[in-house]
Amino acid sequence: METYQKHLLNNLHLFLASFLLIISGFTIQIQSQDETIIDSLTTGQKYRITLYNEKEIIGKVVKQDSVYAYVVSESGTSRVKKEDIFDISVNTNPKILKAMISLGGGIVFPSSFEDGYNSRDKAGFSLQLSALKPLDENKAIRIDLSYGRIKRNDYYSYYGYGSSYQYPEERFRDLYYINGNFMFGNFNTDSKFSIYGLFGMGIFILKEKDFTYTYYNNYDSTYYTDVIRGIDDAYMNITFGGGLRFNIKNRIGAYAEVQYNMFTHGGYLFFFGSGYFPIRAGLTYTFY
Closest CA to 59 of 44, 47, 77, 43: 47
Whole-angstrom Cα distance, residue 257 to residue 144?
12
Distance of alpha carbon 39 from its chain centroid, rounded? 39
- Give the chain's domains with CATH numbers: 2-89 (2.30.30.100), 99-287 (2.40.160.20)
Closest CA to 214 of 265, 159, 264: 159
Q: What is the pLDDT of residue 117?
A: 43
Q: For residue 97, give the 3-state DSSP assignment.
A: coil
- Structure pTM? 0.69
Per-residue model confidence as pLDDT tens digits over 127-156: 999 999 999 889 999 999 999 998 876 555
Whole-angstrom Cα distance, residue 81 to residue 115?
69
Burial class, 220, CB count within 10 angstroms (exposed 0-12 / middle 13-18 / buried 19+): exposed
Burial 154-190 (b: 16+ CB within 10 A, else e): beeeeeeeeeebebeeebebbbebebebebebebebe
pLDDT band of residue 122 (cuts 50, 70, 90) is confident
Yes or no: say if 168 and 183 are a contact pair by the CB < 8 Å rule.
no
Cα–Cα distances (Å) from 256 to 148, 193, 216, 284, in that order, read 17, 12, 50, 10
Per-residue model confidence as pLDDT tens digits over 35-77: 445 567 888 888 888 888 878 888 888 888 888 989 988 888 8
Say which residue, 131 or 4, is predicted with more confidence: 131
